[in-house]
């Protein structure tokens, strides 16, 4: 998993400038807003990655338990579970 | 008789700078500077002025003049945004539109991290409908926060969601005290396919919990995600606007129209 700084660096390379819209007008973010937006993006990206990793881990554990019982996810679907 | 008198010998015509003899005229439209108006012409001009509406009757941009009774002009001050002209007790007046949706505003945004609509909720309408399409970048989806005095609330959003990727997974999700509501699925900024949404907001301008529900449908590449999300904002605050963002805090682009109505 990438670190927060790595994500911020990549994001800044991809978007050297960021913008906000207010009532049909567009404004470039000032330096403080830009840093804040990059940080927020990185924190959200990490949070999403952690959630996805947890979900995948739970899925793998559940599949392993099923396999130990000789079942698959398709078997559960067939039972309406 | 005076009208038959002959002007004295040597009398000259009057001008604006010297006395003299002058010819009378009944005209009320002449621009002559050498003739004089008859009482008849003066009366015609007086009658016209007496029958005219004084321009001082209107005082504010948008004022309307109407007859409060026969031959009696009156001023009707401009109404509030979204109000419609109606008739009450036999005279015109402004009133909240009833019996249907009223289009309040259309907004579009592109290449921005947030999009703020400062002033859209008021006591003119109780409820609001947001209809639009979006292309969020980098996954996630379009999200909404409630806003007042230029500040978007970033807590207290509770909601339940049900989503299905056609041919794929089914998701049932819930959040309490979240940072925003999701109103539209991402389509990954695909040039083909769209993310469409219809979002309902109940009582955002009242100092009580705002409720919301959103239907979202997305087709983009291999993703065909359909979903519902609904919930409430656990703050007793009257909001005047909203702020759009991506659930991944990336760039967003899209457009929507906002309608208002009351029950």
pLDDT in tens, A56-80: 899 899 989 999 999 888 888 888 8
Strand partners, B25: B37
Chain B (93-112) residues lying within 8 Å, Cβ to Cβ, of chain A: 107-112
3-state DSSP of B53-99 = CCHHHCCCCCCEEEEEECCEEEEECCCCCCEEEEEECCEEEEEECCC
Residue numbers in A near B164 (CB within 8 A): none
Strands B114-117 and A19-22: parallel
Sorted by sequence, the CB contacts under 8 Å of residue B43 that are 6+ apart come out as none
Q: What's the rounded mean pLDDT across residues B151-176?
A: 89
* Mean pLDDT score of chain A: 91
pLDDT band, residue B255 (cuts 50/70/90): very high
Find tokens 């008859």 and name the residue.
B38
Residue from A2, A22, A47 whose CB has the most chain B CBs within 10 Å, to mutate: A22
A19 neighbors A28 (Cβ within 8 angstroms): yes
CA distance B148 to chain A (A): 14
**Distance (Å, whole) CA B121 – CA B142:** 20
Locate the domains of chain A by residue range. Answer: 4-78
Report the residue of B151, B163, B250, B257 to disrupt the A interface, i.e. the one with the largest count of A CBs within 10 Å. B250
Contact state of B249 with A21 under an 8 Å Cβ cutoff: no
pLDDT at residue B194 greater than cutoff 60? yes
Question: What residues of B are in contact with residue A15 (Cβ under 8 Å)?
Answer: 251
pLDDT at residue B3 is higher than 70: no
Domain residue extents for chain B? 13-50, 55-96, 102-261
**Banded model confidence at residue A17, pLDDT cuts 50, 70, 90:** very high
d(CA B234, CA B155): 8
pLDDT tier for residue B97 given thresholds of 50, 70 and 90: low
Rounded alpha-carbon distances, angstroms, from residue A24 to B6, B60, B110, B249: 79, 27, 10, 20
Question: To the nearest whole number, what is the mean pLDDT of chain B?
Answer: 88
**Nearest residue in A to B118, CA atom:** A23
| Choice between B227 and B185, residue whose per-residue pLDDT is larger | B227
**Do B249 and A44 lie within an 8 Å CB cutoff?**
yes
pLDDT tens-digit readout, B116-139: 999 999 998 999 999 998 877 666
Name which residue leads in pLDDT, B101 or B99: B101
Give yes or no for residue B168 having a pLDDT over 90. no
- B102-261: CATH topology: Jelly Rolls (2.60.120)
Collect all residues with Cβ–Cβ distance below 8 Å to B178 and sequence separation of at least 6.
B155, B157, B158, B159
> Quick one: average pLDDT of B33-41?
92
- Which region among B58-62, B80-84, B149-153, B178-182 has the lowest average model confidence (pLDDT)? B80-84
Among A residues 48-67, those touching chain B with beta carbons less than 8 Å apart: 48
Residue B4 has pLDDT above 50, yes or no: yes
Show residues of chain A in contact with B113, CB under 8 Å: 18-20, 29, 37, 41
Distance between CA atoms of B150 and B240, rounded to whole angstroms? 9
The whole-number pLDDT of residue B1 equals: 46
Is the pLDDT at B153 greater than 70? The verdict is yes
Which run of H or of E encompasses A15? Answer: none
The interface predicted TM-score of the complex, written ipTM, equals: 0.79
Residue written as token pair 């881990």: A57
Question: Rounded to an integer, what distance in angstroms lies between the CA atom of residue B208 and that of residue B203?
Answer: 8
Most confident residue range from B76-85, B97-106, B235-244 = B235-244
Determine, for residues A19 and B112 on separate chains, whether the beta-carbon distance falls below 8 Å: yes
């Amino acid at each position: 998993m990438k670190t927060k700084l790595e994500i911020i660096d990549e994001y800044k390379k991809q978007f050297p400038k960021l913008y906000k819209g207010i009532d049909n007008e567009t404004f470039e973010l000032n330096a403080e807003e830009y840093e804040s937006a990059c940080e927020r993006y990185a924190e959200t990206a990490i949070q999403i990655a952690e959630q996805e990793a947890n979900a995948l881990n739970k899925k793998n554990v559940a599949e392993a338990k099923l396999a130990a019982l000789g079942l698959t996810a398709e078997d559960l679907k067939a039972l309406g579970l | 008789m005076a009208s038959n008198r002959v002007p004295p010998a040597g009398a000259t015509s009057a001008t604006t700078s010297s006395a003299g003899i002058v010819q009378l005229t009944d005209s009320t439209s002449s621009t002559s500077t050498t003739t004089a108006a008859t009482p008849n012409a003066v009366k015609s001009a007086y009658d016209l002025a007496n029958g005219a509406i004084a321009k001082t009757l209107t005082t504010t941009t948008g004022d309307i003049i109407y007859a409060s009774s026969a031959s009696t002009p009156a001023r009707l001050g401009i109404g509030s945004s979204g109000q419609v002209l109606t008739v009450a007790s036999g005279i015109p007046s402004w009133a909240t539109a009833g019996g249907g949706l009223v289009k309040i505003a259309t907004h579009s945004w592109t290449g921005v991290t947030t999009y703020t609509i400062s002033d859209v909720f008021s006591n003119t309408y109780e409820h609001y409908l947001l209809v639009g399409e979006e292309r969020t970048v980098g996954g996630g989806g379009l999200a909404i926060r409630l806003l007042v005095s230029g500040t978007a609330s970033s807590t207290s959003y509770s909601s339940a969601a049900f989503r299905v990727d056609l041919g794929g997974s089914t998701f049932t999700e819930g959040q309490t005290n979240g940072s925003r509501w999701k109103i539209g699925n991402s389509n990954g900024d695909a040039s083909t396919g769209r993310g469409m949404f219809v979002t309902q907001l109940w009582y955002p301008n009242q100092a009580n919990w705002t409720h919301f529900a959103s239907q979202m449908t997305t087709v983009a590449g291999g993703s065909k995600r359909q979903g519902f999300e609904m919930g409430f904002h656990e703050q007793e605050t009257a909001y005047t606007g909203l702020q759009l963002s991506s659930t991944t805090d990336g760039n967003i682009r899209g457009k929507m129209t906002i309608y208002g109505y009351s029950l």
